[in-house]
Structure 1
Amino acid sequence: MTRSLRELSDRLEIQDLLVDYSYAVDKRDWDALDRIFTPDASIDFRATGGACGDLATIKAFLVKALAHFTVTQHLVAASKIELDGDAATGRTMCHNPMVFDGGRVLFVGLWYVDRFVRTATGWRIADRVQELAYFHNDPRPR
């Protein structure tokens, strides 16, 4: 299959957006999320015990939730991107080791299911939903 330069560029820009999200969260650069999501984005992290709502709600949740961890790494891979003009959908694997203050490591495996839109300033995530794959070393009572 031959792909156009625009399609290749769109795919690379969306891949960069996914990586930018990982770096922003792992570096706790909450303002960077404004350049990753649309202002009216809907974000649902309930599959991993998180919040659901707009970007401000998610930023507040992340600040509070990640305060328990000294290090996190959001490792994203195997994105399946479907382009449709100025819109796209995607499903991306994420392996997320998270180190507690005491050194214990929680491993979270999930998929990000996204809807992307092209804006005047580039591609942005308009909707994001997590799908849980696994928890390992989950400290929460069962």
Structure 2
Amino acid sequence: MLSLQEISDRMEIQDLMVRYSHAVDTRQWGLLDEVFTADAYIDYSAMGGSAGDLGATKEFLAAMLPNFLAFQHLISNSSISVDGDTATGRTLCHNPMIVADAEGKQSLMLCGLWYLDTFVRVDGQWRIQRREEEKGYMFVAPSA
């Protein structure tokens, strides 16, 4: 049976992952400072993205995401293991993105991946210390 503390920790970690999704989907890069540790390592390379520290990740997102007309991060099926002030998690992410070619013809890119996370409690707040993406699929559906 889960203790009240572990239930609370899991809920706080799930909220942290939702805040990540909202920060990215609303392009509020500064909010990522409240999601990741200052020394975080973020590896998006499995899906063709960057790998590096938080500053490099924010620069990558700010440069790359304007190429998409719309996108969402839909997360679910989190498996979280808490051990005191550290935790690990594996969370499903479905990431649909609308892209347009030079003529304005739109296509839907569907990305399915898993976030593999290491979390730490910093000053009483959970933060992501390490995030790696594991590729599930990437598919571009051309417009009619």
State how far apart, in whole Å, the 2-side matches of 1:36 and 1:91 are.
16
- Give the root-mean-square deviation of aligned CA atoms: 1.3
SS at match of 1:104: strand
Quick check: which one's strand share is greater? 2
Give CA deviations for 1:61-120 in whole Å, capped at 9, x if unaligned.
001110111211100000000111000000000000011244321110000000000010
Counterpart for residue 58 of structure 1: 57
* TM-score normalised by L of structure 2: 0.92
What does 1:103-142 correspond to in 2, within 5 Å?
103-137=106-140
Q: Which residue of 2 aligns with 1:97?
A: 96
The 3-state SS of whatever aligns with 2:49 is: coil
* Alignment-derived partner of residue 25 in structure 2: 26
How many percent identity over aligned positions? 52
Task: Read off the aligned partner of 1:77 and give its amino acid letter.
Answer: S
Contact 2:79 2:89 in 1 (8 A): yes
- The alignment covers a number of residue pairs equal to 138
After TM superposition, where is structure 1 displaced by more than 4 Å over at least 4 residues in a row? none
TM-score by length of 1: 0.93
User: Which stretches in structure 1 are left out of the alignment for 5+ residues?
Assistant: none
Report if aligned partners of 2:107, 2:141 keep a CA contact under 8 Å in 1.
Answer: no
Provide the C-alpha distance between the structure 2 equivalents of 1:23 and 1:17, rounded to a whole number of angstroms. 10
In structure 2, stretches of 5+ residues that fail to align are none
